Amino acid sequence: MPTDTNYIIIQLLIGTFACLCISVAYIMFLKHKLTKLKPGKHHTFEYAYDGKTVGKTAPDSEGEEESVEDGMNKLDELSGQQLSLSSQLKDMTSENDRQAFSDSERQRLLEHIEALEASLKESGKRITSMNVQYQQASRDIEKEANKVSSLKRVVDAVDTSNEREESLIEKTQQLSEQLDEKVKEIKKLRINSSLMTKELDDLKADNSEAYLLKQSLEEAQQKLKRSEAERETLESNYVDLAENSQSPKELQDELNRLKKEYEMLEQRFISYGNSGAA
């Protein structure tokens, strides 16, 4: 009877020690996973914007997350098994088996059991502490992920605004170039007016022809003044539009209107030039 009891106790002690070793191994494994995998189903990567590196948090693989959760569950299960074994050892050294051991043997066995229980409690504390760290790390990483998502939305909005501004600047530059061309055309009209004035001086001998030419010149000068006034108005409208417009389409519509008005003005002067030549 004592031999069988000793054998059972030895087997239980061996089993308890094995469970304790497994617990320690799982604790080390869990520390490694928490350090390397950054719990919370997230990992970190980087992307570049405007010459700066911005970090971004993204979901990690579910397999890695499940392995950490499984480790936690197994540690809790092993702790329960160790406590159960300790309870069985205490029971076996109680009333029915006390006569099989000497007082010194029983005392050593009880001390060993108490040491195992202390180790189990310490393992339980470590598991609880690491659970708390795990949950806190998950919350912190989730907050960082939200911050990075907000930053990404701001960056996207800035990119869109820059593209729109560049397009508006390009349209404004095109309008400015086309307006310069129209100013050159008006300068040509001024030259034609000067030539007509010279012709008038050459024809002073013929009063009737000079009178008609003078009238034509005055009409041309009046038209030129009106054209210059229209040009100034168009330039003013163009400046107002360039400063206040938020839509490239409005600039394009204004440009088309300017083209039509200048084409009509040009046709009038061409018609006038042809009639004068006749």
φ/ψ of residue 246, rounded to 5? -110, 5
pLDDT at 42: 42
pLDDT at 84: 63
Helix pair 248-277, 207-244: axis angle to 10 deg:
170
pLDDT at 60: 45
* pTM tops 0.95, yes or no: no
pLDDT at 8: 63
For tokens 């700066």, what's the residue? 52
Domains of the chain, residue spans = 2-161, 165-277
pLDDT at 35: 55
pLDDT tens digits, residue range 227-256?
777 777 777 766 776 666 556 677 677 777
- Which residues, given as ranges, of the chain have pLDDT below 50? 1-2, 37-66, 95-96
pLDDT at 50: 41
pLDDT at 212: 72
Secondary structure (DSSP) of 49-69 = ETTEEEEEEEE--HHHHHHHH
Tokens of 173: 């530059």
Q: What does DSSP assign to residue 47?
A: E
Q: What is the dihedral of CA 234, 240, 245, 249, to 10 degrees?
A: 10
Options 1.20.1250, 3.40.1350, 1.20.58, 2.60.120; CATH for 2-161 is 1.20.58
Query: How big is the CA angle at 7 (ends 4 and 11), to the nearest 5 degrees?
Result: 140
Q: How many other CB atoms are found less than 10 A from the CB of residue 127?
A: 20
